Amino acid sequence: MKAKKTKTAEEKKSKKRVPAAKTAGEENKPAKKTRTAKSAPAQKSKSEQESRIKEKKPKVVAGPAPRSPRVKIEKKVLQEKKTPAPAAGTKSVLMDTPVPAIAPAAPSLPARPETEKKEVPKPPPSEPEKPALIKLKVSTQAILRELAEKMGIKPVDFIKKLMGLGVFATINQRLDPDVAVLAASEYGYDLEIIPIYGDEEAAVEEIKAEKPENLKPRPPVITIMGHVDHGKTTLLDALRESNVVATEAGQITQHIGAYTVKTGKGIITVLDTPGHEAFTAMRAHGVKITDMVILVVSAVDGVMPQTLEAINHARAADVPIIVAINKIDLPAANIQNIKQSLSNHGLVPEEWGGKTIMVEISAKKKINIDKLLGMMMLQAEIMDIKANPDKQAQGIVIEARLDMKRGNEVTIIVTSGTLSVGDPFVAGMASGKVRALITDSGERIQSVKPGYPAEMLGLTGVLPQAGDMLRVVESEKEARRISEKRNQFKREDSFIHQKHVSLLSLRSQVEQKLLKTLNIVLKTDVAGSLQAIKDSLEKLSAPEVAIHILHAGVGNINESDILLARASDAIIFGFNVASDSDVLNYAKIEGIEIRTYRIIYDILEDVKAAMSGLLEPEIVETVAGKAEVRQIFELSSGKVAGCLVREGKIARTQSVRVLRGKEIVFKGKLSSLKHFKEDVKEVEKGFECGIMIDGFRDTAVGDVIESLTREEKTRRIQ
Q: What is the DSSP letter of 205?
A: H
- The CA distance from 491 to 538, in Å, is 20
Q: What share of the chain is helix, strand, coil (3-state, %, to 5)?
A: 30, 30, 40
Return the CATH number of 219-384, one of 1.10.10.10, 3.30.70.100, 3.40.50.300, 3.40.50.970.
3.40.50.300
Long-range Cβ contact pairs of 477-482 (< 8 A, separation 24 or more): 478/424, 479/424, 479/425, 479/426, 479/431, 479/432, 479/433, 480/431, 482/199, 482/426, 482/431
Mean per-residue pLDDT, 441-462 = 89
Model confidence pLDDT, tens digit, residues 479-513: 888 888 777 766 655 433 333 444 545 545 544 44
pLDDT greater than 70 at residue 334: yes
**How many residues would you count in the chain?**
718
Model confidence at 114, in pLDDT bands (50, 70, 90)? very low
pLDDT of residue 627: 93
pLDDT of residue 517: 76
pLDDT greater than 50 at residue 3: no
Q: In this structure, are strands 419-420 and 424-427 parallel, antiparallel, or unpaired?
A: unpaired
Helix axes 600-614, 527-538, angle to 10 degrees: 30
The whole-angstrom distance between residue 341's C-alpha and the CA centroid of its chain comes to 33
Q: How many CB atoms lie within 10 A of CB 218?
A: 22
pLDDT greater than 60 at residue 2: no
Model confidence pLDDT, tens digit, residues 609-650: 777 665 566 677 888 899 999 999 888 777 889 999 999 999
Mean pLDDT of the residues in the chain:
73
CB 629 within 8 A of CB 641: yes
- The CA distance from 693 to 666, in Å, is 10
pLDDT of residue 139: 66
pLDDT of residue 493: 54
Q: Out of 43-47, 49-53, 275-279, 300-304, give the one with best mean pLDDT.
A: 300-304
Q: In this structure, are strands 216-217 and 221-226 parallel, antiparallel, or unpaired?
A: unpaired
pLDDT of residue 637: 76
pLDDT of residue 570: 86
300: left (phi over 0), alpha (psi -120 to 50) or beta: alpha
pLDDT of residue 358: 93
Percentage above 70 pLDDT, the chain: 67
Query: What is the end-to-end Cα distance of the chain in Å, rounded?
Result: 119
pLDDT of residue 273: 57
- Residue 300's identity, in one-letter code, is V
Q: What is the DSSP string of 418-478?
A: BEETT-EEEETTEEEEEEEEE-TTS-EESEE-TT-EEEEEEEESSPPPTTPEEEE-S-HHH
Provide the strand spans (E) within 211-331. 216-217, 221-226, 258-263, 266-272, 292-298, 321-326
pLDDT greater than 80 at residue 152: yes
Burial tier of 390 (Cβ tally within 10 Å: 0-12, 13-18, 19+): exposed
Weakest-pLDDT range from 63-67, 412-416, 655-659: 63-67
Model confidence at 653, in pLDDT bands (50, 70, 90)? confident
pLDDT greater than 50 at residue 657: yes
pLDDT of residue 33: 42
Return the CATH number of 394-492, one of 1.20.1270.10, 3.40.462.20, 3.40.50.300, 2.40.30.10.
2.40.30.10
Identify the residue with better confidence: 249 or 447.
Answer: 447
Helix axes 581-590, 559-568, angle to 10 degrees: 10
pLDDT of residue 676: 82
Instruction: Pinpoint the residues of the chain covered by CATH 2.40.30.10.
Output: 394-492, 618-713
CB 269 within 8 A of CB 294: no
Q: Which of 467, 496, 487, 506 is nearest to 567 (CA)?
A: 496
pLDDT greater than 50 at residue 218: yes
pLDDT greater than 70 at residue 85: no
pLDDT of residue 286: 45
Burial tier of 535 (Cβ tally within 10 Å: 0-12, 13-18, 19+): exposed
Model confidence pLDDT, tens digit, residues 129-145: 556 678 777 766 667 88
Identify the residue with better confidence: 351 or 7.
Answer: 351
pLDDT of residue 34: 42
pLDDT greater than 90 at residue 359: yes
Mean per-residue pLDDT, 229-253 = 60
Q: What is the DSSP string of 272-293?
A: E-SSSHHHHHHHHTT----SEE
Weakest-pLDDT range from 109-123, 615-629, 648-662: 109-123
What is the CATH code for 503-614?
A: 3.40.50.10050
pLDDT of residue 7: 45
pLDDT of residue 360: 92
Percentage above 90 pLDDT, the chain: 13
Sheet holding 321-326, edge to edge: 258-263, 266-272, 221-226, 292-298, 321-326, 357-360
Q: How many DSSP H helices and E strands does the chain contain?
A: 22, 31
The whole-angstrom distance between residue 604's C-alpha and the CA centroid of its chain comes to 34
Model confidence pLDDT, tens digit, residues 571-607: 899 988 888 888 888 888 888 889 888 888 788 888 8
Domain 618-713 has CATH 2.60.40.10: no
Model confidence pLDDT, tens digit, residues 432-444: 999 999 988 888 9
Instruction: Pinpoint the residues of the chain covered by CATH 3.40.50.300.
Output: 219-384
